[in-house]
Structure 1
């Protein structure tokens, strides 16, 4: 995610930047090399394309905060898309997840070009990602229930799915909050801002470090971002289409998805907590 935005008046430049000028200021090496703030897709393809959207945005009057507002709306559309049954709802969710990520790159790029980065932009960015990923998790539970009549006709089967989606949402938000708790704890104790680098988050030698190295071979802790969850929703819809044709019950894939993701997210939260406590992040 790109922590852009503004809490100072816009410094609109009369100069129209060239692509190379914009890239040099909006995508400096220290941004492209961030360990945690950049989603894996940013290096793979997002940053290569987002700069062209940013080129258009800096020619308009929209503020960096306004761009972040569009990112928030795109994120909410991911969750609402998942309420549409079948494969096409999941396809729409994947589409909006990509739109959100492109806009998420653009708001910081706009802020850096105009020199208007600030705390309000960071706050709005956090609001966008927290609300999006919480809503997407809840939507997965609702999607697994199917028609609302199922709540009345089969409450014993429907309520556990809603509960799994709600628990998943809570765990996803807690997992995200753990990173912010580190920064808050450091600030309250007068420590410097934690660098976004491998060295700053390295684990002390021991059991936790060994377990983390093993976990890299099964990186399920990376599936709780809006992009990955929308892709998982699409995969589950395809599984359902195949399974139903073979005689399985409707929503087979969607139901197993949410029931599997909730305990996996619990494991991720536990592992994340242990990693923080076993690292140098709080010292």
Structure 2
């Protein structure tokens, strides 16, 4: 198999670009990847490896798609939410493809990982903040009636802060391990397991009510669509978006606190 050549068969490309160790990653793979995205991304990757675009160039498209999610949420009503959901799918599609291109060409690098982190951090923080502005409705209220508008803007900013902190906790673990000469933490369930105690029981319960997983751009976009659909009901309107942002903030705060305690109680830090 001539890895890196520009005209691989799909079977050759899958063997290199989608190996089992990638498909089985616990945290790095979004649930949509295994459900359907990896099944279709390989076809686009087959086209990309025939072009001059680099893996980092594909990551750039992922970043732009992510920013477009937040921008779409500023469009009122159902169409803005649906457009955000479309861009969230496109972002993950490119997110699958950039790694596949890098693995096929053998161009995986720290720069690529860095750009990927930039894309996800800026996207998910921006989407959370955009949900707050979306809940204001008519943004002219920020000038004409700030007292009624600011609570939702502040809620969006608070949600963005919690989302970013929650994401950063995982990277803080890797930094702490690296600074102390420990090996890279494997992306497996065993590496993050909590064996006994109340936290272990709470973590087991969370598998059945996984609200801690809704702070990804895809899930937040889906929730925006559901709120927009509910908002179509007469006399509800913008109240659905407002309920959504006000509910997400305390849930994300709880998720972040639980994530911190789970890290401290596990063996992730040695």
Question: Which range, TM-score by smaller chain?
Answer: over 0.9
Q: Give the structure 2 partner of residue 16 of structure 1.
A: 7
What is the CA–CA distance in structure 1 between the aligned matches of 2:181 and 2:164, rounded to whole Å?
Answer: 26
Q: Give the structure 2 partner of residue 31 of structure 1.
A: 22
Q: Give the structure 2 partner of residue 238 of structure 1.
A: 229
What is the CA–CA distance in structure 2 between the aligned matches of 1:85 and 1:264, rounded to whole Å?
Answer: 25
Map Cα deviations across residues 46-67 of structure 1 (whole Å, 9 max, x no partner): 1000000100000000000000
Q: 1:251 aligns with which of 238, 241, 245?
A: 238
What is the CA–CA distance in structure 2 between the aligned matches of 1:257 and 1:188, rounded to whole Å?
Answer: 40
What is the CA–CA distance in structure 1 between the aligned matches of 2:36 and 2:203, rounded to whole Å?
Answer: 27
Q: What TM-score results when the alignment is normalised by the length of structure 2? A: 0.97
Corresponding position: 1:282 with 2:260: no
Q: 1:12 to 1:24 in 2, by over 3 A?
A: closer
What is the CA–CA distance in structure 2 between the aligned matches of 1:34 and 1:61, rounded to whole Å?
Answer: 29
Q: 1:280 to 1:197 in 2, by over 3 A?
A: same
Q: Shift of the alpha carbon at 1:204?
A: 3.0
Map Cα deviations across residues 238-283 of structure 1 (whole Å, 9 max, x no partner): 11111xx1x23x3011111000001100000001001101111001
Map Cα deviations across residues 85-108 of structure 1 (whole Å, 9 max, x no partner): 000000000000000000000000
Q: Show structure 2 runs of 5+ residues with no match.
A: none
Q: 2:147 aligns with which of 122, 135, 156?
A: 156
Checking the alignment, whether the CA contact within 8 Å between 1:204 and 1:278 is kept in structure 2 is no
Corresponding position: 1:200 with 2:182: no
Q: 1:23 to 1:149 in 2, by over 3 A?
A: same
In the alignment of these two chains, the number of paired residues is 269
Corresponding position: 1:270 with 2:261: no
RMSD, aligned α-carbons: 1.3
Q: Give the structure 1 partner of residue 135 of structure 2.
A: 144
Larger deviation: 152-161 or 139-148? 152-161
Runs of 4+ residues over 2 Å off in structure 1? 11-15
Q: Show structure 1 runs of 5+ residues with no match.
A: 1-10
What are the equivalent positions in structure 2 for 1:1-283 lying under 5 Å apart?
A: 13-242=4-233, 245=234, 247-248=235-236, 250-283=237-270
What is the CA–CA distance in structure 1 between the aligned matches of 2:89 and 2:239, rounded to whole Å?
Answer: 26
